[in-house]
Structure 1
Amino acid sequence: MSGNAYQDDRGNKDRSITKAGGPGSAEGAMRKGKAVPAPGGPFLIGENMTGGYGKGPNILEACTIAVDKGEIAVIVGPNGAGKSTAMKAVFGMLDLREGSVRLDGEDITALSPQARVVKGMGFVPQTSNIFTSLTVEENLEMGAFIRRDDFSETMEQILDLFPILREKRRQAAGELSGGQRQQVAVGRALMTKPKVLMLDEPTAGVSPIVMDELFDRIIEVARTGIPILMVEQNARQALEIADKGYVLVQGMNAYSGTGKDLLADPEVRKSFLGG
């Protein structure tokens, strides 16, 4: 494969990638209440997820989150709404009392997070997501721990996607800025050649300029066909690039639809986007 797989010509060139009827269009008209998955079954779905941590109370109540190939699905909502918990439930870090998780048609509900990585799930947590004492290059190499093939081509693609990492590849990751660390974390997840990429608040604590740059790179990855499921605190900006959007409140689906529809809905704007 020639060139950079993360910088091809596929996908909508518009930054919003929410063009109605275009590739990766979402669920159609926005739905209030319980989310309904698309007909035929999405590539990744956590369906009717109810559960909490250990023996504690339920944090999620019949929550459904889904994303298909080439799509960006964004989970937004107020603090304490269960956004990151929903992401962790899909990744197997939460005990589900009801519901299921399916990846490419396979029920993976009973699998551990480690087994889900082998199945093709790449997960980038919000914090503690790099090895600070290792170099940038060593961090990326750590991402290829499950591979037995030559990963040098993937390494080059990631360094092309994040040019600053090529410049700083010999530098300790702990010396990087917050935005650069996030690029390392995303790059390490991409080193596994994941079937789906999950990002928990990738722009937390970074400047608006860096946030825009990260979102641009996320769009490029989605254009290659990799589904991206993302929790984001910058709701308005995230919905601008989203094919699907899920607004959670108290662990339940409050609104769902295309990013464009959610941005246009007056109730969503008033309650969650500052008017």
Structure 2
Amino acid sequence: MSAPFLIGEHMTGGYGKGPDILHDCTIAVDRGEIAVIVGPNGAGKSTGMKALFGMLDVRQGSVCLDGEDITALSPQARVVKGMGFVPQTHNIFTSMSVEENLEMGAFIRGDDFQQTMEQVFDLFPILKDKRAQPAGELSGGQRQQVAVGRALMTQPKVLLLDEPTAGVSPIVMDELFDRIIEVARTGLPILMVEQNARQALEIADKGYVLVQGRNAYTGTGKELLADPDVRKSFLGG
């Protein structure tokens, strides 16, 4: 068996000199997969993702991208290696236009990125219509589309999404999930943290339930949805 495209293996760590938040936690995603991290509030879901992106100290364990150990790399160096990360909040430049936000996503590229921008507009047609509008004037769901689009402008090899549907309506959530499925179908691995656990597991190839920074349950989306313990504890029965 070859190793997953992105894997954080046996990660233990926390922020700065603070206590460990993750405890022997393993999270992975492979090409063309959607993997989701779910669990109760304070379970370490976003922390697990930030560990993969280099935003906290992994004191034990390792992070590997496409077979390369990147545990010691900064978040900026990981972006250059091919990681796209969309944080939950403060993920757009509100005073810049939609188009300028997307251009900012191409900052690491030295080639012509116009074709990538057209691909983003094909994926999110509303952004093409509003390309000249300040991003801060958009609805919550449209802002999330800008944030995901900007990450795609880097031409990432893997995309990390931290609570992409936070604060949006159920209709917008469904639409965002549809777009995420579309992106994954291009072969791009997607790892996301989600509060809407049931809906996220429905589109997931692989799911991780974290509790207090540890792996509590791991399986396919279907397996976790069918697991009575997972249903009772995390999905409302």
Q: TM-score range by the shorter chain?
A: over 0.9
- Residue equivalent to 1:226: 188
Tell me how far apart the structure 1 counterparts of residues 83 and 225 of structure 2 sit (CA, whole Å): 29
By relative contact order (CA 8 Å, sep 6+), the higher-ranking structure is 1
Show CA shifts across 1:34-78 (max 9, x none).
Answer: xxxxx3200000000000001111000000000000000000000
Secondary structure in 2 matching 1:212:
helix
2:137 aligns with 175
Taking the aligned partners of 1:246 and 1:232, their CA distance within structure 2 comes to 11
2:101 to 139, 142, 162: 139
Identity fraction in percent: 86
Q: Distance in 1 between matches of 2:217 and 2:187?
A: 25
Query: Which position in structure 1 is the counterpart of 2:229?
Result: 267
Calculate the TM-score normalised by the size of structure 1: 0.86
What is the CA distance between 1:271 and its match in structure 2? 0.1
Query: In 2, distance between residues paired with 1:240 and 1:193?
Result: 26
Q: Which residue of 2 aligns with 1:98?
A: 60
Please show how residues 137-216 of structure 1 align to structure 2 within 5 Å: 137-216=99-178
Of the candidates 66, 71, 75, which is equivalent to residue 109 of structure 1?
71
TM (normalized to structure 2)? 1.00
Could you tell me how far 1:267 is from its partner in structure 2?
0.3
- Counterpart in the other structure of 1:88: 50
Structure 2, unpaired ranges of 5+: none
Q: Secondary structure at the match of 1:253?
A: strand
RMSD over aligned Cα atoms: 0.3
Secondary structure at the residue paired with 2:215? strand
Aligned to 1:244: 206
State how far apart, in whole Å, the 1-side matches of 2:61 and 2:86 are. Answer: 23
Distance 1:167 1:40 in 2: 43
For residue 50 of structure 1, the aligned residue among 12, 25, 31 is 12
The runs of 5 or more residues in structure 1 that have no matched partner are 1-38
Q: Tell me, in whole angstroms, the C-alpha distance in 2 between the residues paired with 1:40 and 1:182.
A: 34
Give 4+ residue runs of structure 1 displaced > 6 Å after superposition: none
Amino acid across the alignment from 2:165: T
Distance 1:101 1:107 in 2: 6
TM-fit CA distance, 1:88: 0.2
Per-residue deviation, residues 137-185 of structure 1 (Å, max 9, x unmatched): 0000000000000000000010010000001000000000000000000
User: How far, CA to CA, are the matches of 2:138 and 2:2 in structure 1?
Assistant: 44
Task: Find 1:74's aligned residue among 36, 40, 45.
Answer: 36
Higher percent of residues as helix: 2
